[in-house]
Structure 1
Amino acid sequence: MGSLLYGNSGTEIGFDDRALVHLQVVITAKLRRREGFLFTWTSSAEAGTGRSSIWFDQSSAIVYRYAGSRAPTLNRAWIEALMLSANSAGGLQFSSEPIAEGPSPDSTAK
């Protein structure tokens, strides 16, 4: 389990490494464009459930701490879904990885 560490407050948010790398791509893209945004996630049952939000902008201190040494492969559809959320009025809402759609039955028959 990886962690996103935010600011000087000691806020640490746990995500698995695969989710964390996708969040890193989206958060970095927004901050490179100097766009501030709200990030909201639902806490795990171990953390007491509930929702939390933090504000990201160019002055935010962020550390991405991964449990594993290998970088997971990226899922473009997940990045696009997270980026759409980040660009909305409600800000970035963490969502689980979309289930990959396989080929339709008609696409393999010729």
Structure 2
Amino acid sequence: MGYLSYENHDYPFEDRTLAHLHIVIVNKLRHGQSFAMSWKDVTAVGGGRTSIWLHPSSNLRFHFDGSRSPALNGDWLAQLADSAESSRGLIIESEERAPLRALESA
């Protein structure tokens, strides 16, 4: 389990999810775009939902537990990127909601 470190808080994500988020978030921020990101919290941390505001000067760190980059699902990336462009912001949905189309790892 990796994590996204944001403004001195660590948020746990599976490495596969984090790899997809990394691409979407970096692409948005490198274009100078700010956006919200939201997800459902696991019951181990009390359930509920978390939402954060990301902007180009955000203090972010992506930490992956594994040393290998996972294969990427192009449809899931597209779904996450489309979500990030919406007025609701990037909503983290499960990969199962996106059809599988593997991309080669970079």
TM-score (norm 2): 0.89
Larger radius of gyration: 1
User: What amino acid is the match of 2:60?
Assistant: I
Percentage of identical aligned residues: 40
How is 1:1-110 mapped onto 2 (pairs within 5 angstroms)?
A: 1-7=1-7, 10-98=8-96, 100=99
Unaligned runs of 5+ in 2: 102-106
- TM-score of the superposed pair, with normalisation by structure 1: 0.86
Letter in structure 1 aligned against 2:38: T
Deviations 1:7-45, CA, capped at 9 Å, x for gaps: 1xx211111000000000000010011010000011111
Give the letter aligned to residue 16 of structure 2. Answer: R
Instruction: Specify the code of the residue in structure 2 equivalent to 1:48.
Output: G
Where does structure 1 lack aligned partners over 5 or more consecutive residues? 103-110
Instruction: Report the CA distance shift for 1:35/1:67 in structure 2 as closer, same or farther (over 3 A).
Output: same
How many residue pairs get aligned? The number is 100
Task: Return the alpha-carbon distance in structure 2 between the equivalents of residues 101 and 37 of structure 1.
Answer: 26
